[in-house]
């Protein structure tokens, strides 16, 4: 049983490298793109392919609730028929625009910054804690400023009384 699973995983590894190289070849020769989105009611997928300055597209509706495993399985089973349907669909003038590939580290920093900006529950709690901390610091600064003024006023009063006492000769 274990040897069968090992043999299957080895053949899958070989297939995946072959599939990867085939996909890389297809990407350079025949640009294609699969986009998954939620249209408000159902999950939909759009497969777009471009050749000879003609864009061909096929739309697939998956249903109200689809998870990654179901979508992956569907693509494995129906992927070739999806490509055939796209090839036989009516062409639309245009091409698929390739996204510009930038520096991956810069892209990662940008993604991290956006995630910090659009925060979840824990970040809201952190923001509230930070706000409380800043308010406490502001209150403490104000209290210390008032205390310094009062101390300076008290010392001035002491000096003034000593000066008057010295002036009276007592």
H helices of the chain, in order, are 2-29, 68-88, 104-117, 121-168
Q: Alpha-carbon distance 89 to 58, whole Å?
A: 7
Q: What's residue 138's pLDDT?
A: 96
CA nearest to 57, candidates 29, 32, 22, 30? 32
Q: How confident is residue 39, by pLDDT bands cut at 50, 70 and 90?
A: confident
| pLDDT mean over 114-141 | 81
Question: Please, are residues 61 and 36 in contact by the beta-carbon 8 Å criterion?
Answer: no
The pTM for the full model equals 0.42
Q: CA quadruple 46, 35, 11, 30: dihedral positive or negative?
A: positive
Question: Please, are residues 57 and 45 in contact by the beta-carbon 8 Å criterion?
Answer: no
| pLDDT mean over 59-74 | 81
78-116 tens-digit pLDDT: 888 888 888 888 887 766 666 677 898 998 999 888 877
């Amino acid at each position: 049983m274990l040897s069968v699973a090992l043999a299957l995983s080895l053949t899958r590894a070989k297939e995946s490298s072959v599939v990867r190289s085939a996909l890389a070849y297809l990407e350079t020769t025949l640009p294609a793109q699969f986009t998954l989105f939620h249209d408000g009611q159902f999950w939909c997928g759009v497969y777009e392919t471009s050749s000879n300055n003609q864009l061909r597209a096929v739309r697939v509706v998956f249903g109200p609730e689809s998870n990654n495993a179901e979508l992956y399985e569907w693509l494995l089973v129906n992927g070739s028929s999806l490509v055939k349907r796209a090839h036989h669909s009516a062409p639309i003038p245009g091409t698929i625009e390739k996204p510009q590939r930038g520096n991956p580290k810069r892209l990662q920093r940008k993604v991290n910054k956006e995630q910090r900006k659009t925060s979840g529950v824990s970040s809201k709690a952190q923001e509230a804690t930070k706000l409380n901390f800043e308010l406490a610091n502001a209150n403490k600064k104000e209290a210390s400023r008032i205390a310094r003024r009062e101390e300076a006023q008290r010392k001035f009063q002491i000096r003034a009384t000593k000066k008057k006492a010295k002036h009276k000769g007592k």
